[in-house]
Amino acid sequence: MFLFEYPLRRIAEAVEMAEYDGVEFWVETPHFWWKRDEKMLGEIERLVKAVHSAVIDLNPVSSNEKVAELSIQETLYSVKIASLLSSPLTIHAGKRSAEREPVEEDYAALEKYFRIVKKYAEIRNVRILLENSEKGINRLCRTAEELEYYSKKFGFGITLDLNHAAKNGNFEGFLDLLDRVENLHVSGYDEKGRHVEVSRSEEIKEMLRRVGDAGYDGMVTIELDDLGIGELNFEEKVRVLREQKEVVERLLRL
């Protein structure tokens, strides 16, 4: 969402100006999502290193069967886009519809979702990465134990979001899973939990140092939400991207 207002060619320009080696393409990037014109992908294809599934208003384990069905369909569409871009795809697990601890039925729906995604991803030759979920009593796969279990059962890799782990207070558990982590989502968080600059969070900076000390050498994706940072023009956003890249590289000792 940091560059949400720009077309793909402009996003690609920002990535290159900030001296990044690529971008994790979010399928719901507005200028693409509104039209879903796959020819538009050519404007950013050369820079795509990973893809993130559609997630807004979706819940693949919803107790509303129509919501769950649509959510699965949108994930399968995301698999298709990842296939076209020859990139791994990060997916979310979903949540119990009620704000209560997940129950057996929720986990049964989750396994159905994973089976469907796994089968189609194998057909499309796409690597699936399961992300640790946001904080919330009803969120599935927010703990290291659940992520390890499902990633092993379905043969998924892991996308470790440090922002989510920090808010859940369970970062320590993920250190033992770094050999399964293939994409590291990096950001600080503000009072509303939004993805903001790493430089604003001593907690996240220390987590990055520990990940670096543990020898992590996989993909690193910096996530930023402009709503938590403030109104910036294009050049200012490029500056923020460049500054955060330098901070992350220094902390990970890249």
User: Mean pLDDT, to the nearest integer, of 138-163?
Assistant: 98
Q: Which domains does the chain have, with CATH numbers?
A: 8-252 (3.20.20.150)
Buried b (16+ CB within 10 A) or exposed e, 34-58: eeeeeebeebbeebbbbbbbbbeeb
Across all residues in the chain, what is the average pLDDT? 96
pLDDT tens digits, one per residue of 161-194: 999 999 999 999 999 999 999 999 999 988 888 8
Inform me whether the pLDDT recorded for 22 exceeds 90.
yes
Give me the residue label for tokens 């987590």: 207
What 3-state class would DSSP assign to 201? Answer: coil
For the chain, give the percent of residues with pLDDT over 90. Answer: 94
Q: What is the pLDDT of residue 193?
A: 84
**Of residues 158, 210, 154, 207, the one with CA closest to residue 180:** 158
User: Mean pLDDT, to the nearest integer, of 151-158?
Assistant: 98
Asked if residues 154 and 171 have their Cβ atoms less than 8 Å apart, the reply is: no
6 vs 17: CA distance, rounded Å: 15
For residue 206, the tally of other CB atoms under 10 A from its CB is 13
- CA dihedral (62, 57, 80, 44) in degrees, to 10, reads -160
Question: What is each CA distance from 154 to 88, 102, 111, 116, 149, in whole angstroms?
Answer: 15, 20, 9, 11, 9
**Of residues 156, 150, 158, the one with CA closest to residue 174:** 158
Q: What is the pLDDT of residue 74?
A: 98
* Residues β-bridged to residue 219: 183
Least confident residue range of 78-87, 151-160, 185-194 = 185-194
User: Mean pLDDT, to the nearest integer, of 115-120?
Assistant: 98
